Structure 1
Amino acid sequence: MYDEGTYRRVLDLDTAMVKVKYYANKVEYVREYFASNFDQVLALKISGNKPAHLNFTIYLDNKYIYHSYVNNKNQIIMDGSCPRLEIYGNDNPQGIQFLAVLDLQISDGAGAVCVLDGRKLRVEGCNSAIILLAASSLFDAPFTQPVDSNRDPKSSSLSIMDLV
């Protein structure tokens, strides 16, 4: 049943899924969200009930210092750092460095993905898309300075994406 004014959000605590359903231009769109603590990834599936009607642009942005770019795997990489904190009497404070990887997969046989400005992905005419997000930072513990962290945000985030 088509109803232009219909918008529905559902949180299913048994499956840990959020589902959003709405109509626009006589197409029913569904967005399904899932967060996996075990896999350290956020997942989003977007689909429409009519073929080749899914069109969108996706990119990563934040208010801190960062650099983002598209690699050759339909992935957007964002690395950056939060502002420096002058704590513990350190003369050379370092901010918390982070890296996020957004991976885009579109339905087989329909649609195209193109790169815009070297940092955005534009999806045109696909049936469905799956977006995965993994992120990591230097944050090790509340009282560990970033410079003393043994974590590697880049290898952590990229490794997570390789496993998914």
Structure 2
Amino acid sequence: MKEQKITTTYEVYPNLEALPAEARFLMQKAIAAREQAYAPYSKFKVGAAVALENGVIVIGSNQENAAYPTGLCAERVAVFSAGANHPGVTITQIAITAAASDYELSEPVTSCGACRQALLEYEHNQDSLIEIFFMGASGTVVKTKSVANLLPLNFNSSYL
């Protein structure tokens, strides 16, 4: 047996204002999308903004449903919309932000496993890395240069 270690690298910005202008603008779009979330059950709103190589920004917010499994996360709403409305256009960046109704969320919130897998599919298929920026309602912002950093030992279409 040989033990292996998986590591990842990410950047931490102290706040929204510390981001480069382009990333700050994208996160502001995600914040606006977060305010449009439909989250009456969890009271946990998430917004996402996807930047495409052609300059278009596509937004999404989480959409809950009384039949819980039928809701959809903000990341998948945004990326699926980008794929449906701008097929073949490379995704360059994604900004994601979350806020809770009953407490101050100042820590970055990452994507759930299902969203990581969906985002990885786009990154793998376009053969180009997607930068992701995460934040809570306020506070620090985390940036990773690739979806694969969030999902090591991943499954993708090359196995099919």
TM-score by length of 1: 0.27
TM-score, length basis structure 2: 0.27
Which structure has more relative contact order (CA 8 Å, sep 6+)? It is 2
Relative to its length, the structure with more strand (as a share) is 1
Larger radius of gyration: 1
